[in-house]
Amino acid sequence: MANELQRTKPIGLSEAEEGYVEVIYSLIKEHGYARVADVAAALNVKPPSVTNMLQRLDKHKFVTYKRYRGVVLTRKGIQLAETLEKRHRALKNFLVMIGVNAERAEQDACEIEHKMTRETVEKLAKFVEFVNLAPQAPPFLEHFKHYEKTGERPKQCYRKNQKKESK
């Protein structure tokens, strides 16, 4: 059971710490660097809070932080950030695929991504990839859209020997 509940994050890393790693990664990708003030602005927190968190992340070897010099992700930090980005993207793409608007999917992905196990993330990512690489949209997506709008499954959505559910 413990293995089933293993998260994609290292033991002891909080959602807040993951969030900081994500923001630092994003800032470095966008600007080539990340400073305390930039991280504080992105997270809407005060610079002393950022400094405190960066010191913790430095202690755990996710970042290299030197006062007044900014922050750099270590190899371990980059690997974590890439894992977090993949997890977020898979979840958001899945939500959009089932009809959640992109803005809401982005918000919801941010809320629940830190709770997903590695196994769930990998399966979800593979499912999204499979559907996206299909030569045409799988019929079940259209069937789901019909069901969502009408509350009824299309005729072709029943298996052999399966009776229609009565309401």
pLDDT at 165: 58
* 24-54 pLDDT per residue, tens: 999 999 999 999 999 999 999 999 999 999 9
Nearest to 153 by CA among 144, 166, 141: 144
pLDDT tens digits along 111-153: 888 788 878 878 888 898 888 888 887 788 888 888 888 888 8
The helix/strand/coil state of 89 is helix
Strand partners, 71: 34, 65
Q: Are 7 and 42 in contact (CB under 8 A)?
A: no
Confidence (pLDDT) at 5: 34
- Which residue would you say has higher pLDDT here, 55 or 166? 55
Q: What mean pLDDT do residues 55-83 have?
A: 93
**Domains annotated on the chain, with CATH:** 15-78 (1.10.10.10), 82-150 (1.10.60.10)
Q: Say what the pLDDT of residue 8 is.
A: 46
Q: What is the pTM (predicted TM-score) of this model?
A: 0.75
**What is the per-residue pLDDT for 67?**
86
